[in-house]
Amino acid sequence: MIEVRGVRKWIQHLDRRVEILRGIDLVIPAGQFVAIIGASGSGKSTLLGLLAGLDSPNEGEIILDGTPIQSLEEAALARIRGRKLGFVFQSYQLIPTLTALENVLLPFELNASGDGLERARALLCQVGLEQRMDHYPVQLSGGEQQRVALARAFVVDPPIVMADEPTGNLDSVNGQRVLELLLDRSRNAGATLVLVTHDPQVAALAHRRITLRDGVVVEDVLANRAESVIAERR
């Protein structure tokens, strides 16, 4: 479902190059739940942004569901993101002038055909917001906003869902609820889930844990294996 081949990312400032990712190779099969972990500055959010097509690598190739995305024009890339990818941001990224229902419905109207209204309503009911559909983001708590964002990520039934610290701005009770809903929706949809987290308890729920350090993969652990695959690169 996701292939990463020799991906490097750096920032050039005058004559100084800051290396963020220093050669990443990954294959993530369909339906797998992968947690990407690592210390602050390890490159995990940068990697997720590249996988989602929100940024481009300086070198290497990223393939989503059979399509190389690193060289696509923005219009073609937007179509791929809109149809194949749901994204849950730490900061929710809801449109403040749209209601909860309108926020969830928007990706469907932009990327799918037919009437998505009933699906959007059903998803909001599934995340416990049946009484909040006509509320604007400012009228919702942080946990409610993140549940709206969660429903939005699944409205086009994408084969891939990515989440960047989706519980990072929430208290423990709301964080646990959002996480449970995210995992439940991913399982029910059969989606590939890639989640960036700093929480070892969240990472422990994944099928696979990938640890980054200084821009390289230093550990790749499958939950159903006793041993881990340790990267030789340092």
Summarize the confidence of residues 125-151 as an average pLDDT: 95
- pLDDT of 79-109, one tens digit each? 999 989 999 998 999 999 999 999 999 999 9
Q: Provide the 8-state DSSP code for 135.
A: -
Write the CA distances from 139 to 29, 100, 143, 153, integer angstroms.
39, 10, 12, 20
- pLDDT of 34-50, one tens digit each? 999 999 889 999 999 99
Helices (H), ranges, the chain: 44-51, 74-84, 100-111, 117-126, 142-154, 172-189, 200-203
How many C-beta neighbours within 10 Å does residue 173 have?
9
Write the CA distances from 218 to 24, 42, 110, integer angstroms.
10, 11, 39
Q: What is the pLDDT of residue 160?
A: 94
pTM of the model: 0.89
Write the CA distances from 169 to 32, 142, 176, integer angstroms.
25, 8, 12
Where do the structural domains in the chain lie, given as residue ranges? 2-94+143-222
Q: What is the CA radius of gyration of the chain?
A: 18
Q: What is the pLDDT of residue 114?
A: 84
Q: Which of 109, 7, 128 is nearest to 56 (CA)?
A: 7
Q: What is the pLDDT of residue 13?
A: 85
- pLDDT of 160-213, one tens digit each? 999 999 988 889 898 899 999 999 999 988 999 999 998 888 899 999 999 999
- Given pLDDT bands bounded at 50, 70 and 90, which one contains residue 136? very high
d(CA 225, CA 213): 22
Q: Share the mean pLDDT of the chain.
A: 90
d(CA 96, CA 171): 22
Which CATH topology does 2-94+143-222 take? Rossmann fold (3.40.50)
Structure tokens at 86: 């749901």
- Given pLDDT bands bounded at 50, 70 and 90, which one contains residue 233? very low
Contact present, 170 and 143 (Cβ < 8 Å): yes
Write the CA distances from 61 to 8, 23, 192, integer angstroms.
9, 11, 19
